[in-house]
Each structure stands twice: as structure tokens, then as C-alpha cells.
């Protein structure tokens, strides 16, 4: 089970992910609503894993991912993209993302992906 930071600009998606991850026994150590906040919260909380939305105001998910990886190359980040943003996935992989989930998602598959990334 891991300590997880959830990053998404909509409260609805953050709450949904929080419920899914909590039901899988994970500890939600923090939330962030944009990329800049995500980078700051990562430094502060040092979570085992981050779920990172791609499209966010101010600093987007890819930029936040790059900043987190620059500060901690071992950081484990799973990107959350909407359907149709698959091109972003390649960019995210190049930038060091360990996994990706596509919205809308189903709880068991999210938990499976989180487990895979945490155990890698």
C-alpha cells in the first residue's frame, strides 16, 4: 500500500480518485489542484506515488512531472489523460511517467495500475 498525492484541477475527479485509492488500502497524503501546487506538495510530502492530471491551469501536468522528476528522478508518477489525449502519453513517457490512466476509468483497473507502478 502506498502514500499517494492526487493532482487534478477538478474536485470531483480528486474525490473520485481518493475514494478509489482509499478503497484499495492506500493512504492519501495530499491533494493539489494545479501543477505548481503539485510540485510544492511533492517536495513537502515525499509521497510514494503521484496521480497527475495532464490538462490543468497555470502549470500543466507534463511540466509538473518534469519538475518533480528533476528534483527526484525516482519519483513514481501516473498520468491521468482524457480520451483523445493519447499523444500526451508519449510526451509523458519521455518525461518519466511510470503509468497512465485514461478518463473515464474503472476502479479495479486504476488500483491494478497503481499496484504495478508501486511494486515496479
Partner 1 sequence: MGAMKSVPVKVEHEGKWIPTTMGIAEDRFRIDAPLNQVIFYKSVVDLDEKKNQVIITAGGEGEAVYRIASVEKVLRIVKRFIITQASAYRLNAFFMSPAIRGGVLVQNTQWEKGVIAVMKTGIWFVSQEKQVCILLDEVTGIELTSREIQEKNLDVVKIDHLAENEVVTSFVLCPLTTLQVLYNFLKEATDETEVREEIDPLTGQVAMLVYSGMDSSTIENMLKLAHKDLDAVYESLLDSGLAEVLYIRKEIQLTPKGVRYISESVKSSID
* Residues forming the site for partner 1 (CB under 8 A): 12, 15-16, 19-20, 83-84, 86-87, 89-90, 99-110, 112-113
Mode of pairing for the β-strands spanning 27-32 and 3-7:
parallel
* Distance between CA atoms of residues 22 and 16, nearest Å: 10
CB 105 to partner 1: min, Å = 3
- 7 or 39, CB closer to partner 1? 7
Q: How many CB atoms lie within 10 A of CB 11?
A: 11
CA–CA distance, 110 with 120 (Å, rounded to integer): 15
**Please, what is the minimum distance in Å from the beta carbon of residue 41 to partner 1?**
22
User: Closer CB to partner 1, residue 63 or residue 112?
Assistant: 112
Least distance CB 108 / partner 1 (angstroms): 6
Assess contact for 4 and 49: CB atoms under 8 A.
yes
Amino acid at each position: 500500500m502506498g502514500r499517494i498525492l492526487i493532482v487534478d484541477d477538478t474536485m470531483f475527479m480528486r474525490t473520485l480518485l481518493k475514494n478509489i485509492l482509499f478503497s484499495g488500502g492506500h493512504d492519501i497524503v495530499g491533494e493539489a489542484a494545479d501543477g505548481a501546487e503539485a510540485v510544492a506538495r511533492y517536495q513537502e510530502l515525499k509521497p510514494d506515488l503521484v496521480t497527475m492530471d495532464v490538462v490543468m491551469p497555470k502549470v500543466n501536468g507534463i511540466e509538473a512531472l518534469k519538475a518533480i522528476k528533476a528534483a527526484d528522478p525516482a519519483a513514481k508518477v501516473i498520468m491521468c489523460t482524457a480520451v483523445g489525449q493519447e499523444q500526451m502519453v508519449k510526451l509523458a513517457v519521455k518525461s518519466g511517467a511510470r503509468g497512465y490512466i485514461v478518463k473515464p476509468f474503472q476502479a479495479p483497473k486504476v488500483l491494478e495500475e497503481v499496484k504495478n507502478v508501486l511494486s515496479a
